Amino acid sequence: MSYRPLPLILRYAVLVVGMLFILVPMYVTITVALKTPAESAQNFFSLPSRLYLGNFEEVIREKRFFTYLTNSVYITCVSVLLMLIVIPMAAFAISRNYHKRHYRLLYALILSSIFVPFQTIMLPIFRHLFNLHLLNQHGLILMHLTLALSEGVFLCVGFLKNIPLELDEAAKIDGCGIGQLFVRIIYPLMRPIIVTLLILNALWVWNDFLLPLVVLNRHPDYWTLPLFIYNFKSEYSFDYNLAFAGFFITMLPIILLYGFLQRHIIAGLTEGAFK
């Protein structure tokens, strides 16, 4: 059966629908954040009559806002840094020893975790972390690293299979040990997939809600920004204008990171998944 591409009008229709799914929530977030409660009560979806920044000022004046911001920055930076060290090292060991049976078994075991929904392991994770006294930021960082291994190793192993073994042999002849080979030669060549891991995991960790809810929600001092937004309500009502201002402040850093590095994503994912 020959492949027939979709008609041009149908392809544009799919693109338009996809854009609406992205742009409409962004429009609502920005417009509600820039309106007064009175304006929102009159018409929730209308454009603001003027740029009202009082919602942002009130969110930032929240006495613990910068504590939550610091928590999110710390957890994201440390988690992603560990991922960018551990995942390429594990993938390098597996890709260069794939001919050995126990390495293939280890690779299959790591990939099998992709098919396990987080909801099925949420309660065991909580109990183990509680028993290990790790219901804190360090326990959350370890869980982020663990849950990122399967997808990261899969992408990196696929990328490394495209780097010829002759390069390793030439480096060893020149006197490089395994450590020097990885740090000086292999890791720099992995830059496209490293940047891809950086962006994907930074997006995930920064916006992650469910895992911090399980691990950190016992004490407000440990909250991240998503948990702060989740708990951002007054005693008797929920202020949508303040909440959407908080959403926008939370989204802004990761949007800027994505915009700065997004050109590397497609190349890295393609090379990691298919080569």
Same-domain pairing of 129 and 256: yes
Same-domain pairing of 17 and 120: no
135 SS3 class:
coil
- Helix 191-207 vs helix 65-96: crossing angle, to nearest 10: 140
Query: In angstroms, how far is CA 197 from the centroid of its own chain?
Result: 9
* Higher local confidence (pLDDT), 239 or 203: 203
Same-domain pairing of 25 and 143: no
Which residue type does 20 have? L
pLDDT tens digits for range 61-110: 876 888 888 999 999 999 999 999 999 999 999 998 888 899 999 999 99
Residue 214: how many other CB atoms lie within 10 Å? 19
pLDDT tens digits for range 212-238: 988 888 788 888 988 888 876 654 456
pLDDT tens digits for range 118-140: 888 888 888 888 898 888 899 99
Contact partners, residue 122, CB within 8 Å, separation at least 6:
210, 214
- pLDDT for the residue numbered 89: 94
Contact partners, residue 104, CB within 8 Å, separation at least 6:
98
Give the pTM: 0.82
Cα gap 27→13, rounded to integer Å: 20
Q: Show the domain range for 14.
A: 1-52
Domain membership flag for residue 6: yes
Domain membership flag for residue 173: yes
Same-domain pairing of 133 and 254: yes
Q: What is the DSSP string of 24-56?
A: HHHHHHHHHHTS-HHHHHH-TTSPPSS---HHH
Residue 113 has pLDDT above 60, yes or no: yes
Same-domain pairing of 71 and 196: yes
Domain membership flag for residue 58: no
Residue 63: how many other CB atoms lie within 10 Å? 6
- Residue 266: pLDDT band by 50, 70, 90 thresholds? low
Contact 75, 141 (CB under 8 A): yes
pLDDT tens digits for range 174-183: 888 888 889 8
